[in-house]
Amino acid sequence: MRTLVIGDIHGSYKSLKKGLKLADFNINSDRIICLGDYINGWGEDFEVIDFLIELKKKAAIPPIYLMGNHDFWFREMIQNDFKNFRDVEYMKAEYSMWFSKGGEQTYKNYLSLTDEQIIYHKEQFFDHLKRYYIENNKLFVHAGFNPKSGFKKTLEKDPNALFWNRSLYEKAYKIEKHKKANEANDGTHYFDEFDKIYIGHTPTNNYGFKRPEQLCNVINLDQGCKTSGRLTIWNDDDGTYFQTKKRKEKV
């Protein structure tokens, strides 16, 4: 069994399908773990969610799907305000922040569906997303946690930080940058003694990385799929990875 960890998809169904093909994904012997943010970006949201629902039904080894901040937004909106979902002006005014962060493409995509299809996706997918997953001393989480507080205290005091807080990756980046600048500082830096921490949420493009790099014990698999279409799938067994090529324009 291979464990393939998939970074932020952001509504790019074509990238997801191409990435799995590049990774030679085998539904009978491979397991996938998705780090969240399945929607808000490329407008193929229904296709992404529908594919992942069917994959969970057919896969020999059940996939793990984590909650991202964009997924949380969407679920809360459907759960609390679905009666107004088809009122375009109301939605744009009430959820302006969500719309500006890629939600407009998702909204247009789902607006063309029936109420039954939307509720089906909520109940079969969004309602079952996990906040985190731990296995063999490896943490899988969308954004991270407060490195000052640690994972357990962050989970206890501010569980939503697991799909919002960027400070873990920022801290890992600063540590590695200092190590490179000061060769005498060659110690190993770990957060919460996890062997590996897989995250997404923070595009590494903002730090000059187009490909995934391990910083301390943190592996960030968000390589800007929301804007560039570059999706990463990482093989946890041997550290190899597969990336889709950059897409030129949004659909």
Q: What percent of the chain has pLDDT over 70?
A: 94
pLDDT of residue 41: 86
Stretch 51-55: mean pLDDT:
97
* 14-29 average pLDDT score: 96
pLDDT the model gives residue 249:
38
pLDDT band per the 50, 70, 90 thresholds, residue 139: very high
Q: Which residues 6+ apart lie within 8 Å of 227 measured at CB? A: 41, 203, 205
Mean pLDDT confidence for 143-161? 95
Which amino acid would we find at residue 84?
A: N
> Model pTM?
0.92
Would you state the structure tokens that stand for residue 110, as one six-digit string?
């789902």
Beta strands in the chain (DSSP E): 2-6, 30-34, 64-65, 132-135, 138-141, 196-199, 214-215, 218-220, 232-235, 241-243
Q: What is the mean pLDDT of residues 97-110?
A: 90
Residue 185: its pLDDT value, please? 44
According to the model, what pLDDT value does residue 160 have? 94
Is residue 53 within 8 A of residue 121, CB to CB? The reply is yes
Predicted confidence (pLDDT) per residue in 26-49, tens digit: 999 999 999 999 998 888 999 999
Residue 148: predicted pLDDT: 92
**Confidence class for position 56, pLDDT limits 50, 70, 90:** very high
pLDDT in tens, 169-222: 999 999 888 776 555 444 465 798 899 999 999 999 888 888 998 999 999 999
The amino acid at residue 223 is Q
DSSP state, residue 27: T
Whole-number pLDDT of residue 184: 45
* Per-residue pLDDT, 247: 56
Q: What is the Cα–Cα distance from 6 to 64, expressed in whole angstroms? A: 10
Once rounded to an integer, what is the mean pLDDT over residues 110-135? 96
Q: Which domains does the chain have, with CATH numbers?
A: 2-243 (3.60.21.10)
For range 72-89, the mean pLDDT: 95
